[in-house]
Amino acid sequence: MDEVIISGLTKRFDDLTAVDHIELTVPEGSIYGLLGPNGAGKSTTIRLLCTLLRPNEGTAKVGGYDIIESPVQVREITGVLPEEGNHTLYQTMSAYENLEYFGNLYGIPRDELPTRIEELLTFMDLWERKDDPAGELSTGNRQRLALCRALLHRPKILLLDEPTSALDPVAAKRVRELILSLAEKYKQTFFINSHNLAEVQRMCDRIAIIDEGQILLSGATQELRSRLQASQNFRIRVVDDLENTLSISKAMNFVKSAEREADSILVTIDDPLKNNTTLMQALISKGIHIIEFAEEEATLEDLYLDVIKGGVK
Amino acid sequence: MALQKSMLVARADLKMAMKVSMVKYGLILIAAFGPVMLIATVLLIALTAPTVAAATLAMIDPLLSPMVGIIAIIPASLISANALVGEREQNTLEPLLCTPLTDRELLLGKLLSSFIPSIALLLGSILITEVSTIFILVSVGSEIVLVPGLSSLFLLLTTGPTLILAMVSVMILISGRVKRVYEAYQTSGATVMLFIIPMLLPMISMDTSGNVDMNLVWFSNFITLLIAILLAIVTWALAIGRFNRDKMVSM
Ligand SMILES: Nc1ncnc2c1ncn2[C@@H]1O[C@H](COP(=O)(O)OP(=O)(O)OP(=O)(O)O)[C@@H](O)[C@H]1O
Ligand SMILES: [Mg+2]
């Protein structure tokens, strides 16, 4: 079953079309990443899905409910982490009170609420801070608290707008692990906005790339990555002469690009199976001592930059 | 069920407002202004002319007591400005609007969070004034009258809450159009002025020689109440009808 079905969804702000006739489907239990640069329309898409904004055209079904016709039901089954979630807490309420208030608003049974709050706060390493006013927590802790708030009523669908943007690498990793385990354990569906490619690549099974309100590309993460296999990136490390290595590489007609990166050279090679040896031989014959000649895994970043630059393959 | 959800919103708002001592003591200070003026007047009359104090007070009561009602509208405007525009300013509006609350539940909650403390302040002001008046009159050995008197009590207890309701509705209307709490305060200041006018209506029942026609007082009280009810209905209907999540979020 598809948990989110977006059809022709369009949102305009005066003359600006922030979301432009987008079509997307998010399968149940998947972790879906919506990638795009600043101002692409990611947050607007989430605001439309959680019924904060009303589309000018098109609609979406969330968990089987239409966002225009049944907004209350949509809100019941979704958990939302707004953009800059760490700024959206009641500053003077304690961490615990923030969750208690929303737990009540979502209608969590009173006898169950305390245990759920304790579970979540403990998991997020916030239990010790439960009585601190939210405004006195660090940015990262506030972000985690906002995430607790989104998860508290165990919604079927989570709409998270840049969930790890304010977190340090360790905390970000924990949040990614949490999302993965929740998706597996409770079959919750995640729709995640991000411009962090590495993160989306690690976490999401499906992605879509959005720019200027339009979906440029969407599909399974694996599939999209394999599109890059025609040419590949290799990292060359040598004993000394980096400059020479760079100019020799650039001189080869099968080398699409060569760049110096700190202590190594990154080259993109057409048809590497055939051409790698040629490059290696050329380098060796010029007396260069190669320490490393290794394949770099194709990343979504390459794809992303390609797509955003307009050169969709 | 709907009321229960609204009460949750109201309770949270109140708890938060009470944590800010400027709001808490500010409100009490404003609300105290009415009783203090009334009690001072009673004291002055009781001390200067104890023998005719009761008669004098009974006569000027319809002009004097509505003051308490007028003052009570101000806290309502302050709390409701915070309750809605404050939510936007704190960035808590989006998560709140993401909960399953319906428009009606949300607005009723916001209405109650302003209405409850305003009514409490109004009732407190009336009680303090009545008790102090009786105490003063007994102390100087004068005959006892009620300040606020019966006709004023009627006005305060019916028109007072109705105007508070209208005030909060106006604030809900404004909240979709202003970004900052201080802008809301400014707009509400103007609205308070407008809403004070009905409360001054009973003054017309005083003739040029300073005598008060009680029939006219009651008549004007009813007219005032009618105007207030009309204001409340129109503003509340507008507030509910015009309420627009999209607009609140995207402005
Ligand atoms: N309330 C609004 N009024 C007017 N324009 C808006 C509004 N909200 C968003 N926009 C515009 O719509 C476009 C998309 O904005 P959106 O916030 O969805 O981008 P985003 O992909 O989330 O960007 P970011 O990565 O910076 O968060 C932008 O050009 C933005 O300026
Ligand atoms: Mg955004």
Q: Range of B56's domain?
A: 2-250
Nearest C-alpha neighbor of B126 from the set B137, B118, B116, B114: B118
Nearest C-alpha neighbor of A76 from the set A162, A190, A6, A157: A157
Please indicate, yes or no, whether the overall pTM of this predicted structure exceeds 0.90. no
Selected for mutation to probe chain B from A19, A67, A84, A105 (highest B CB count within 10 Å) is: A105
**A137 with A145: CB under 8 angstroms?**
yes
A16 CB within 6 A, ligand 1: yes
Instruction: Tell me, rounded to whole angstroms, the distance of Cα B119 from its chain centroid.
Output: 7
User: Which helix (H) or strand (E) segment is A22 a member of?
Assistant: strand A16-27
Domains: count for chain B: 1
CB neighbours (10 Å) of residue B230? 13
Q: State phi, psi for B116 to the nearest 5 degrees.
A: -60, -55
Which-ligand-closest: CA of B249? 1
User: Which among A89, A91, A106 has the least Cβ separation from residue B99?
Assistant: A106
Using the predicted structure, report yes or no on whether residue B81 has a pLDDT greater than 90.
no
Rounded to 5°, the CA angle B33-B37-B38 comes to 120
**B164 with B70: CB under 8 angstroms?**
no
Q: What residue segments make up the domains of chain A, in order of their start?
A: 2-223, 232-297
Q: Summarize pLDDT for A73-116 with one digit per residue, the tens.
A: 999 999 999 999 999 999 999 999 999 999 999 999 999 999 99
**B152 with B67: CB under 8 angstroms?**
no
* Number of the ligand 1 atom closest to the C-alpha atom of A40: 21
One-letter amino acid for residue B40 of the chain: A
Taking residues B140-159, report their average pLDDT: 91
Q: What is the CATH number of domain A232-297?
A: 3.30.70.100
Residues of A in contact with B99 (CB under 8 A): 75, 102, 105-106
Check residue A313 and give its pLDDT: 42
DSSP class of residue A94?
B
CB neighbours (10 Å) of residue A119? 14
Taking residues A28-36, report their average pLDDT: 94
Q: Which strands sit side by side in the sheet containing A255-261, from one edge to the other? A: A255-261, A264-270, A231-238, A290-296
pLDDT bucket at B58, cuts 50 / 70 / 90? confident
Question: Could you give the CA distance from residue B109 to residue B93 in angstroms, rounded to a whole number?
Answer: 14
Question: Residue A50: closest CA among chain B residues belongs to which residue?
Answer: B98
User: Which among B97, B99, B249 has the least Cβ separation from residue A102?
Assistant: B99
- Burial of residue A25 (CB within 10 Å: 0-12, 13-18, 19+) is middle
| Residue whose tokens read 């802008």 | B183
Average pLDDT, chain A: 90
Q: What is the DSSP pairing of strand A57-62 with strand A16-27?
A: unpaired
Using the predicted structure, report yes or no on whether residue A46 has a pLDDT greater than 50.
yes
Question: Could you give the CA distance from residue A95 to residue A103 in angstroms, rounded to a whole number?
Answer: 12
Taking residues A275-285, report their average pLDDT: 90
Given its phi and psi angles, is residue A129 left (phi above 0), alpha (psi -120 to 50 degrees) or beta? alpha
pLDDT above 70 coverage of chain A, percent: 94
Question: Could you give the CA distance from residue A177 to residue A167 in angstroms, rounded to a whole number?
Answer: 14
Average pLDDT, chain B: 87
Distances (CA, A) of B234 to A45, B58, B167, B176, B242: 36, 35, 11, 17, 12
User: Which among A72, A89, A106 has the least Cβ separation from residue B102?
Assistant: A72
pLDDT bucket at A53, cuts 50 / 70 / 90? very high
**A41 with A13: CB under 8 angstroms?**
no
CB neighbours (10 Å) of residue A213? 23
H-type alpha helices, chain B: 2-19, 21-48, 53-64, 66-89, 93-98, 103-139, 150-175, 181-200, 214-242, 245-250
A165 CB within 6 A, ligand 1: no
Query: Which of the two residues, A78 and B74, has the higher pLDDT score?
Result: A78
Check residue B206 and give its pLDDT: 65
Question: Residue A135: closest CA among chain B residues belongs to which residue?
Answer: B90
Which residues of chain B approach chain A closer than 8 Å at the C-beta?
5, 8-9, 12, 15-16, 19-20, 90-92, 94-102, 245-246, 249-250
Q: What is the DSSP pairing of strand A214-220 with strand A206-211?
A: antiparallel
Which-ligand-closest: CA of A34? 1
Q: What is the DSSP pairing of strand A189-194 with strand A157-161?
A: parallel
- Ligand 1 center to B37 CA (angstroms): 53
Residues of B in contact with A87 (CB under 8 A): 91
Establish if A135 touches chain B: CB-CB under 8 angstroms. Answer: no
Taking residues B158-169, report their average pLDDT: 91
Question: Could you give the CA distance from residue A19 to residue A27 in angstroms, rounded to a whole number?
Answer: 21
- Burial of residue B32 (CB within 10 Å: 0-12, 13-18, 19+) is middle
Q: What is the CATH number of domain A2-223?
A: 3.40.50.300
